A and B are shown apart, each in its own frame.
Chain A
Amino acid sequence: QLQFQESGPGLVKPSETLSLTCTVSGGPISSTAYYWAWIRQSPGKGLEWIGSIDFGGRSYYSPSLESRVTISVDTSKNQFSLKLTSVTAADTAMYYCARDGFDTSFFDYWGQGTLVTVSS
């Protein structure tokens, strides 16, 4: 059974960079059938896909965030990471990592999420 655990600072100052890591256990991240995704949810709001990456580093991002987002993968640690630059209060959200079914458009395993607040 795959398990996902997000980690990173819970508080980030405006204009700085948000950095999170997702550690995957119970199976290798180097699967050719899946991508690995970041999804966020602002307080009291709906879900927003941020981007996804495969084990080889091929990534694709939400156009609305693409200019500020980088997702990377470290297969030796079975981890993938998110960096979001120039954050504002609008980036305050619960951030989830998940497995992306890619061609079949689903997210079947999710982490518990980590709350990131942007505030000075």
Chain B
Amino acid sequence: QSVLTQPPSVSAAPGQKVSISCSGSSSNIANNFVSWYQQLPGAAPKLLIYENTKRPSGIPGRFSGSKSGTSATLGITGLQTGDEADYYCATWDRSLNAYVFGTGAKVTVL
């Protein structure tokens, strides 16, 4: 059972915006950097956001990250069919002494 909770699924029409939440605690999100990953069907995860808000080279500006207290959020604007994937948040947990991943959220483009 993951200590980072995400909604199982989110959906929106093409061109719309979705937000994916990642809820944690003082031992993880509140005091550590959060990263976000996109996993397309049958593929390895891909880093989308690191250090809460930063995008690696090559990641479109449609993807954004934010953090407040014990929660983090991934936003995707201008939704495209190619964005259909599972999305995971991750951070370090000081109590568990381990990296932890979120439960994962499946994005569906209607």
Assess the A63–B35 pair: CB atoms within 8 A. Answer: no
Closest 5 interchain pairs by CB?
A: A49-B99, A106-B35, A106-B50, A47-B101, A110-B44
Report how many residues on chain A are interfacial, defined by Cβ distance under 8 Å: 20
Assess the B100–A112 pair: CB atoms within 8 A. Answer: no
Report chain A residues within 8 Å CB of B35. 105-107
A42 smallest CB distance to B (angstroms):
12
| A106 and B33 in contact, given A47-B101, A49-B101, A63-B98 (Cβ under 8 angstroms) | yes
Task: Report the Cα distance A108→B33, complex, angstroms.
Answer: 14
Closest residue of chain B to A96, judged by CB?
B44
Interface residues on B, range: 20 to 34
Assess the B92–A96 pair: CB atoms within 8 A. Answer: no
Report chain B residues within 8 Å CB of A108. 47, 50, 56
B59 smallest CB distance to A (angstroms):
11
Q: Is A101 an interface residue (CB 8 A)?
A: yes
> Apart from A96-B44, A107-B45, what 19 extra A-B contacts exist at CB < 8 Å?
A46-B101, A46-B103, A47-B37, A47-B88, A47-B90, A47-B104, A49-B99, A49-B101, A62-B99, A63-B96, A104-B51, A105-B99, A106-B90, A107-B35, A107-B47, A107-B90, A108-B56, A110-B45, A112-B44
Report chain A residues within 8 Å CB of B68. none
Q: Is B74 an interface residue (CB 8 A)?
A: no
Assess the B51–A106 pair: CB atoms within 8 A. Answer: yes
